[in-house]
Structure 1
């Protein structure tokens, strides 16, 4: 029942809002037509299609970690040629030469070669122990929560 009362009061308030002060006759209001904007057709100007041409290459040789790899690739239009090499976990160097074109598709040739490992002879080193003074530095502990 309270809902009906609220709706009735809102309706009366809406009607009274359209009536000028001191004028008792109802004023007819006609809703203005809703403006509709048609979607704007966008004309995209196609850029002339130029075939891709690039040369790309990189190399990594880190003696500290032993990471050694390289790649080089050349593209002229739809023809791609390149190669990459890396050191596999078994100690061999893998080199892959590849080519791709619309007529032959993708072709790759893999070569594996063992790496030449130089063994250095190390002379024994005499080690002298530092004198022990009976003091150990306190250990640092990190607490993670």
Structure 2
């Protein structure tokens, strides 16, 4: 019993210890930022573009007929391309760009004659005329008299 009393007294003393006192959160100043050091953009040597290409497709069985060719030397570019249109004509576009300031100049020509198939509208499905049915006469029984 004495040990129980001693243990209870020790527990009471331990539980009665004062709680931590209030104090504000510690102050942390905002980090100081400074601008990134200046690094100039790298410069690359730009050689003027010089190239030439061409291709053509002509397939009568599949109905394909188109092609292109182009040549470029620096800003100066010229070329042409052609394509078969659905109406049977061939459209040819010749273009050139003289320098960086002149812009794209195109000349469009058509060869051949347009051929259009005659229009045949699809047949309309058969719809029989509606049949007239007279409305039935309303039923009116003869009056009955009770004497």
| TM-score, length basis structure 2 | 0.48
Based on CA coordinates, which of the two structures has the bigger radius of gyration? 2
| TM-score, length basis structure 1 | 0.48
